[in-house]
A and B are shown apart, each in its own frame.
Chain A
Amino acid sequence: MSSIRRSLPLLVCLLLGCVLLALYAPGGALRRDEPPPQQAGRSPYDLAGSIEDAQNRLRGHPDDAAAWAGLGFLYLEQARRTADGAYHAKARGAFERSMRLPTGDGEPYIDAVIGMGALANAGHDFAGAVRWAERAREAAPYRWPLYGVLIDAHLELGQYQQAESTLRHMLDGRPDFASFTRAARLERVHGRPGPARELLHRACEIAGDPAEYAFCQGQLGDLAWHTGDPRAALTAYAEALAADPGHVPSQAGRARAQAALGHVHQARRGYASLVARAPSFVVEYGELLEHLGDRAGARRQYAVFTAQHKLLAAAGNADHLAMGTYEADHGDPDTAVRHLRAEWKRRQSIEVADALGWALHRAGRHAEAATYAARAERLGGHHALFAYHRGEIEQALGHTASARAHLTRALSLNPHFSPAGAARARELLAATA
């Protein structure tokens, strides 16, 4: 059924194309020395079709550095939409091929260099992404997309100052979808949901295709969620999914918000169909099941996570943040600390500081945990979950007043931040009242 639903846009597009063809085909106008036109009647937003066109183009012009770079970006976008890592390898191949080909100025084709940076970000090699983007900046400081790569990498690395100054430069040079969405992210990191919302609304207005529109509506949904408004979040996710039914983060957000609003069956259904496509949400799903008392169901989801991450680690792409976070809550806290210390060496971001603090707390090292939790907050982590973590840590240290303050803050930021966490925060507050 779902495959039919997915193919529907294509079928409609096919049909539309036929109609247009019937109406406008001049007939017999194809020139003999031309390759047959590849593109009649296709939606301009058809990613798979665009990939095919690029491949066709490259069959005739294998030395076209620009077409190889373009193909690399199409693969990258396909990887983003399908969560299929095989496309990363294809993207890398295309970018590398592009960079080997001669260009007018004797330097590697600039978009391929930027593409390598984007690819590094996608593979969590954020330091590598900075190197590629800096290389691109040296060669072509006016090629604005490179700054998007650079800002993303700085933010993941916890280099918020650099991210901010780069962003200012980008906004001064090219105010567009890429710079507005990143500015919104920085505003959110610094606990300024109002400006973040305004920027996202502007980004939505200038979105260039359904995927871009879904992305910024999804971001608006996340923003509403994190400010404790699951209803507004649900509206935004619905808007995102109307544009792009396959937008995974919005599917997850919708299920999360439904659970918060008590629509448990809808939420379970949503998660169940979501994790079949995007295994990265299995832990969250498992936590909901566990909260609902379905321990066996939860264990099954956790097993999927463990298997998935064993594969990733074996392929050399260990996601220490995800693994550490999982181990801290559902596995072995000492293992969690090991993962997260490794991650902390690579990057000192708010997310990693919080996760490491939490893992240390779970492993019984509350004092050390407190320094990381405080650091996450100092860096600007206006996040209910982080506040809750800090409250628990303070509680473990016997700082009841401080614990209460953090727990209260967590619940006021977002009373639904996690099914189990929010309940536990309320219990703690009641117990220490």
Chain B
Amino acid sequence: MPAGTAGYQRNERQMRVTSARSRWTWAAAGGAAIAMLTTTVLLGPSMRQGTATSHWDAPATTRDKQVDATDLYAFTSPERQDTVTIVANYIPFQVPNKPYQFDTGARYEVHIDNTGTGRAAVTYRWTFTTKGLPVPSLVRKHQAGPADALVEQSYTLTRLRDGKWETLVRDGYVAPTDMGALATPDYPELRRKAVRDLPGGGKVFTGTAADPFYSDNHAVNLLRFGLPFFPVKTGVPLNVSSLALQIPKSELALGGDPAANPVIGVWTTASRRSSGVLGSGQAGFKQVSRLGNPNFNEVIIPLKQRDRFNTLRPDGDESGGLVVPSTLDPDQAKVVAKQAKVAAPPAPRKDLEEIYLTGLTTRGDGPIDRDLNSHLLNRDVSRIVKAEELRLNMSTPVAAEPDKYGLLKGDEQGYPNGRRLVDDVVTVNLRMLLGEPAGPGAPGLIAEDNPAFLYKPISGSFPYLALPVTAG
């Protein structure tokens, strides 16, 4: 039900597998739906029990897609290894050829912590303006209509560093979705137009792309067991709206020195301007979405606290009484272990704390004895706090042959050391929840030769994301 948060929907997504059989299942389902509708129409109200009517009748559930951060990626750019690419994806489940917009009443941000304090040393902030008349976001059924007209947005990108805001891009071009030759002629050119150089040697891309997310069906099913059932269906490739940056490592590293201080922590937030009511009250921006490690909110944080997690900042994680205890003893570990008929390690899960809250290092008290991506590995850091961030060691060499299971298969450049577009993070998270890499875990649970793959291949240069999926 109630959506609007980063991850409920995540687990609804599945690797798309199709077969002749599924085609028939699907056609039959569609037919049944039509039959049902027709019957309803023919029988009319005389067959109905009826409902009481004199009340305000708002939708029972809401999907707050525009501020729904679905995925965050951070990796050393393979063809420009002095830079890091960060991709934050919002607005999941975009139907091909449909225009979707960012919320013009929101701030979308990517934060970088290079000190291990849980505080952002650098923040990149996007705000959006809709060109022309305000036209609704997404929301049209399948019939063509005036509101399916192309809606263009522009953005402003600012950077907060050392307490100072600096505008990096003004009136930036947001790549719309590919709506066909009439509305968006020469689409590849539009994509090129949406990739811009930033002062200092970076690049930015903002706009619609094919959703690069994929995972193993079985892993998704297991991990989502006991999670809210979300009434949004996928199964065909869909699009997302991406905020992508390629930034010189020196801009992100503590002291500007990526060799000495290679570890950064990354997270993305969306904040929306609120409103007073009856002439008083606050209209300030409220953080409504937070995403660092994939699945963290829906797997580690208990359901009742997930909306709260979305409002929290990493620098409050250690003392906040929610993130640390939830990580040390996640309910979901027991639920999944029972469902998969395997054993999960007993609490306290210091291994999960090391993975999600401190990063891997031999210099702390974590059980994973390996120096990989803790801020303690930075020369100029002596003390860190526990904070949930996607930690990337920018000095880890780029793997010649990336393994989708990342660290679990000895590929140190993969998740949870940052996250690449090719990493199967759902399976990795599932296996870590069940004890790897600190202990033996249950590596055989997901067959490694499963045909899990990206819908559309990523490209070899920034922003790597495939062009939007189209309907035909």
Contacts and interface: CB of A to CB of B under 8 A. Distances in A.
The 4 A-B pairs at the shortest CB distance, nearest first, are namely A70-B229, A104-B331, A208-B63, A39-B235
B136 A204 contact: yes
B233 A42 contact: yes
Contact of A171 (B18, B103, B227, B281): B281
Interface in A27-72: 27-31, 33-34, 36-50, 52-54, 57, 61, 64-67, 69-71
Contacts of B397: none
Interface string B275-304: 111110110001010000000000000111
Given A144-B2, A174-B288, A319-B54, A139 B141 contact: no
Interface residues of A, number: 146
Contacts of B218: 31, 33-34
24 contacts: A7-B34, A9-B142, A11-B34, A20-B96, A20-B472, A24-B18, A34-B217, A37-B217, A37-B235, A43-B141, A84-B51, A111-B1, A140-B303, A140-B304, A164-B277, A171-B275, A172-B282, A173-B311, A176-B67, A208-B64, A209-B63, A321-B54, A322-B52, A351-B54
Contacts of A2: 41
A206 B103 contact: yes
A183 B277 contact: yes
A258 B331 CA distance: 57
Interface of B: 1-4, 14, 16-19, 21-23, 25-27, 29-30, 32-34, 36-38, 40-42, 44-45, 48-67, 93, 95-96, 101, 103-105, 134, 136-143, 145-147, 217-218, 221, 225-238, 272-279, 281-282, 286, 288, 302-308, 311, 331-332, 334-335, 450-451, 455, 471-472
Contact of B277 (A70, A171, A249, A278): A171
Given A21-B18, A123-B52, A176-B62, A202 B236 contact: no
A177 to B, nearest CB: 5
Contacts of A195: 277-279
A93 B294 CA distance: 34
Interface stretch (A211-219, A356-364, A386-394, A396-404): A211-219
Interface stretch (A184-192, A227-235, A285-293, A421-429): A184-192
B103 A24 contact: no
A162 interface: no
A167 B276 CA distance: 10
Interface of A: 2-3, 6-14, 16-17, 19-21, 23-31, 33-34, 36-50, 52-54, 57, 61, 64-67, 69-71, 73-74, 76-77, 79-80, 82-86, 88-89, 103-105, 110-111, 114-115, 118, 121-124, 139-140, 142-145, 148, 152, 155-156, 164, 167-168, 171-178, 180-183, 185-187, 190, 192, 195, 199, 201-202, 204-213, 215, 239, 242-245, 249, 275-280, 308, 311-312, 315, 317, 319, 321-322, 325, 351
